[in-house]
Amino acid sequence: MRAVVFEQLRTPPVLIDRDRPRPGPGEVLLKVAGAGACHSDVAVYHDFDEASAPPQLKPSYVLGHENSGWVEELGEGVTGLAKGDAYLVYGPIGCGRCPACSRGQDTYCYNVADMPYLAAGLGRDGGMAEYMTVPARNLVPLGDADPFAAAPLSDAGLTPYHAIKLSLPKLAGGGKSALVIGLGGLGLVAVQILGALTGATVIATDMKAEAMARAEEFGAVTVPGGDGQAERIRELTGGQGVTAVFDFVGVAPTIALAMGVVARQGRVTIVGIAGGVYEWSFFAAPYEVDLTSTYWGTIEELHEVAALYRAGKIAPDVEYFAMDDALEAYRRLEAGEISGRAVVTPHGR
């Protein structure tokens, strides 16, 4: 089968032939419907060197950590799943036994140091291929919903959902507001989730005019970057500041914007992994502001994301690519030329 393989640090992936994998005990072989190209993949193959790469993320493996597919074959001991049924894949794979994994939060597995990989597509073969294997517990049913556009929900949906859910106490009730910084794969789904879960005023910003236009269609008020941006955002909140900020970029200027517009007792969640630095001081930040980061989400939350999708409340904006064009999808993602999410469909649509 054809697969997009991350072979060498600091080197773009290659499209090569690989043997079709066999499901191990407790695993399922999926025929991949969709594989989203996440900006984190670019960080994985671009930024890490021998010294900085976590051992679990060293090559080589098939990329693709946000996937959907159809059950093709069951490994030993797996029952109750029917060939041809469509599922979303929960990517993170922890030990499965520790307190974190027991609550479906494999992202924070206590035994990560002993795990050979972090997730399907992050250290272990992922879904940027014709077939992939996953533990049966990582499958979230899609029913008869479109499995192709669903693929990004596994990360571009789940990650903002987790961040927003943890911020709901700041968003429930009248007069609340949210700011979404960065309207790419994750940010555009974040705007939709905020609309589906809260009555907050949603403010959004990006450097790309077309991304902001799309966010407006999803109900956001947009404010372009540049002079007066923070003032304009404050105005939209009646001068009180934003009660929950979500930064899907994470460079120093976006963190500074987030901390510059957040309300007293508000919350700032940094999701983008650009590594920007912010100097906190008692006097620099408004009183009682929570400043935090989040990583992906839980299996239970992916079931909730799938339910929102199946109910028609959220739908990722996708641009489809054939398997032959998968490397072009990554090239365009790096160049900032993708609107929403690039999804590779190895078996067509």
Residues at the interface with Zn ion (CB under 5 A): 94-95, 98, 101, 109, 111
Question: In the complex with ligand NAD, which residue's Cβ is closer, 196 or 273?
Answer: 273
Q: Answer yes or no whether residue 148 interacts with ligand NAD by CB under 6 A.
A: no
C-alpha to C-alpha distance for 209 and 39, rounded to whole angstroms? 19
Report the partner that residue 123 touches, choosing among Zn ion, ligand NAD, none (CB closer than 5 to 8 A by kind). none
Question: In the complex with ligand NAD, which residue's Cβ is closer, 2 or 48?
Answer: 48
Question: In the complex with ligand NAD, which residue's Cβ is closer, 82 or 335?
Answer: 335
Q: Is the peptide bond before 60 cis (omega within 30 degrees of 0)?
A: yes
Q: Answer yes or no whether residue 112 interacts with ligand NAD by CB under 6 A.
A: no
132 and 22 Cβ atoms separated by less than 8 Å:
no
Convert 168-198 to b/e letters by CB count within 10 Å (16 or more is b): eebbeeeebbbbbbbbbbbbbbbbbbbbebb
3-class state of residue 319 by DSSP: strand
Q: What mask, x for binding ligand NAD by CB under 6 A, covers residues 311 to 340?
A: -------------------------x----
- Residues in contact with ligand NAD, counted by CB under 6 A, come to a total of 33
Task: Pick one of 73, 206, 301, 304: the residue that binds ligand NAD (CB under 6 A).
Answer: 206
Residue 184 is classified by DSSP as S
Point out which span in 12-20, 54-62, 201-209, 231-239 binds ligand NAD (CB under 6 A): 201-209
Q: Answer yes or no whether residue 272 interacts with ligand NAD by CB under 6 A.
A: yes
Question: In the complex with ligand NAD, which residue's Cβ is closer, 51 or 335?
Answer: 335
Report the partner that residue 336 touches, choosing among ligand NAD, Zn ion, none (CB closer than 5 to 8 A by kind). ligand NAD
DSSP string for residues in 23-90? --TTEEEEEEEEEEE-HHHHHHHHT--TTTS-GGG-S-EE---SEEEEEEEEPTT--S--TT-EEEE-
Point out which span in 39-47, 129-137, 169-177, 321-329 binds ligand NAD (CB under 6 A): 39-47
CA angle 68–70–71, rounded 5-degree value: 125
Q: Answer yes or no whether residue 155 interacts with ligand NAD by CB under 6 A.
A: yes
Query: H or E element: which one contains 167?
Result: helix 158-171
Give least dist CB 347 to ligand NAD, A: 24
C-alpha to C-alpha distance for 332 and 76, rounded to whole angstroms? 40
Name which of 235, 226, 232 is nearest 253 in CA terms: 226
Distances (CA, A) of 125 to 118, 181, 289, 316: 11, 31, 40, 24
Report the partner that residue 95 touches, choosing among ligand NAD, Zn ion, none (CB closer than 5 to 8 A by kind). Zn ion
C-alpha to C-alpha distance for 247 and 261, rounded to whole angstroms? 12
Report the partner that residue 159 touches, choosing among ligand NAD, Zn ion, none (CB closer than 5 to 8 A by kind). ligand NAD
Positions that interact with ligand NAD (CB under 6 A): 38-40, 43, 155, 159, 181-187, 205-208, 211, 225, 248-251, 253-254, 271-274, 294-296, 336
